Amino acid sequence: MEGSILQNLKKWFNKFERYKVTYKNGSYHLANLFQSPQTVVESFDKMPFCKHDRDKQCIKADSIFLKCHMHYFELEDGFWLMPSHIHFKKNVLMKNLYDKDLPLEYHFINIHIKTNTVKEKSTINGLILKNRAWSMFKAGQALTEYHFKNSEEKNITLYFTSKWLNNYLKTNSGNNSDSLANFFTSSNNYLIIDEDDTTYETIFDEIMLYASKNTKDKYIDEIKSSALVVINNFRNKLNTEIIAENHFSLTDKDRKNIQRAEDFLLKNIVESFPGIDEIAKEVGISSSKLKTDFKNFHNKSIYQYYSEQQMQLAREMLVTKKYTIKEIATKFGYENSSKFSARFKTIYNVLPSEIEAHKILDKTRELT
C-alpha cells in the first residue's frame, strides 16, 4: 500500500516537473516532455504566455526567457515536421523529460541554423553546436540543450518512428551501404555534424511561408515535399561524409575530445600547424588515439582538416578584399605565396590570384 502511494506521488510530481522553472549556475532551467511531437506541442501549449492556433498548427510564445514561433505537421503516420524560430532572452537550459508510462518511439533529425551569433556556442548533451549543424538522436537520448542570452536560431526538426524510417529506407533504397540505416543499428545514440550549405535558410523560409498560409492543410503537399528534401539531403550528406568504418563506435567522450581538438586548432588558425603531439597534450589523450579518432570522425587527417579550415578563412579574406595574397600567406605561416597558392588550388580548384583578379575588376568597375 505504501509503495503504491509513493508511486502515485512520484507520477504526480513528474507530471508537474515539465512546468517547473529553476535558476542555477547562471541560467534558467526549463523543461518539456520530449516523448513525442504530440507531447512537445502539449508542453508548449500549457506554458504561460503561449498562444496556440490549432487551425494553422502554430504555437507562439513570448516570455521573459524566450520568444518562439513554431509550427507542427503530421505529414504521414509516424512522420512529423516542426520548424521553429527562437530568440533566447536569457541563458536557458532546456531539459528534455521522458515519461516511463508513455510510449517512447520517436527519433529526430534537426538542422540548426544560428541567425544571431554570440561569442558562446549552444550545446546539446554537452556537445558544442556550430552556427549551422545537424543533430540526430535516437528516441529518448536528447537530454539537455543550452542556449546563451541573445542567441537566435532557426530549426527544421523531423520526428519519425522506426517503422516510418524502415519504410522510407525501403522506398528509397540504394545499392551501397547506407549510413542513416547504419546509425540506427549501431550502439551510438546521437550524432552531430557541421553543415556549410546555406540552402537550409531558404528551405526554412519557404516552409514557414507555406505554414503561415496553411489552413486545413491546404499547403501540406508543399510542406511535405520540403521535409523530404531535408531528410534526403541529410541522408546524402551522411553517405558522403560518414564513410569511416568505425565512425559510430566513437563514445561521447571521444567526440568531446575531438571538439576540443577542433577548438584548439581554430584558435590557432592563423599560426603554423601546432603539431599532433601539442594538440594531443592540450586535449589530454595520446597522439595515436587522437589521430585515429579524428580520422574516424572526419574521414580526414588532423592536418588536412586544419589546412581546409585555413583555406576557407583565406577565401573569405580574399572575397571581402581585406588582405593581399602575400599578407594571407604570411599570416597563415607559409614560407612564400607560391606554396600557399598551391595549397589553395588543391581545395578550391582555382588560384587565389584568380579571386584577387575579380577583386581588382570589381574595384575598377566602381571607379568607372
Q: Tens digits of per-residue pLDDT, 226-271? A: 999 999 999 999 888 876 667 888 888 898 899 899 989 988 888 7
Is residue 246 within 8 Å of 287, Cβ to Cβ?
no
Pairwise CA distance, residues 276 & 190, whole Å:
27
pLDDT number for residue 188 = 85
Percent with pLDDT over 70 in the chain: 88
pLDDT in tens, 292-329: 999 988 888 999 999 899 888 888 888 887 788 888 88
How far apart CA 279 and CA 261 sit, in angstroms, is 6
CB 214 within 8 A of CB 208: no
pLDDT at 77 over 90: yes
The tens digit of pLDDT for each residue in 268-283 reads 888 788 999 999 999 9
pLDDT for res 215? 64
Q: What are 184-224's pLDDT values in tens digits?
A: 988 888 888 889 888 999 999 999 999 988 666 788 999 99
CA 358 to chain centre: 34
The pLDDT of residue 196 is 84
Q: Does residue 117 surpass a pLDDT of 80?
A: no
Name 310's Cβ contacts closer than 8 Å, sequence gap at least 6: 269, 332
Question: What pLDDT was estimated at residue 318?
Answer: 86
Instruction: For the chain, give every domain's residue range.
Output: 17-249, 253-367
Residue 334: pLDDT band (50, 70, 90) is: confident
Top-confidence residue, 68 or 359: 68
Determine the pLDDT at residue 360.
40
For residue 42, what are the contacts with CB-CB under 8 A and spacing of at least 6?
A: 33
The average pLDDT across 85-102 equals 91
Look up the CATH architecture of domain 253-367.
Orthogonal Bundle (1.10)
Q: pLDDT band for 118, please (50, 70, 90 cuts).
A: low
Q: What integer pLDDT is reported at residue 106 of this predicted model?
A: 97
With a cut of 60, say whether residue 8 has pLDDT above it: no
Confidence of residue 104 (pLDDT cuts 50, 70, 90): very high
Q: Mean pLDDT lowest for which of 63-72, 95-104, 106-115, 287-296?
A: 95-104
For residues 368 and 360, give the distance between their C-alpha atoms in angstroms, rounded to a whole number: 12
Kindly report the number of other CB atoms within 10 A of residue 360's CB atom: 10
Rounded to an integer, the average pLDDT of 123-131 is 79
- pLDDT value at residue 49: 82
- The one-letter amino acid code at 28 reads Y
Report the distance separating Cα 142 and Cα 158, nearest Å.
Answer: 14
Per-residue confidence (pLDDT) for residue 243, from 0 to 100: 66
Tell me what pLDDT residue 231 has. Answer: 96
CA angle 324, 327, 331 (to 5 degrees): 140
Average pLDDT over residues 45-73: 89
For the segment 136-163, the average pLDDT, to the nearest whole number, is: 94
Average pLDDT in the 338-354 region?
88
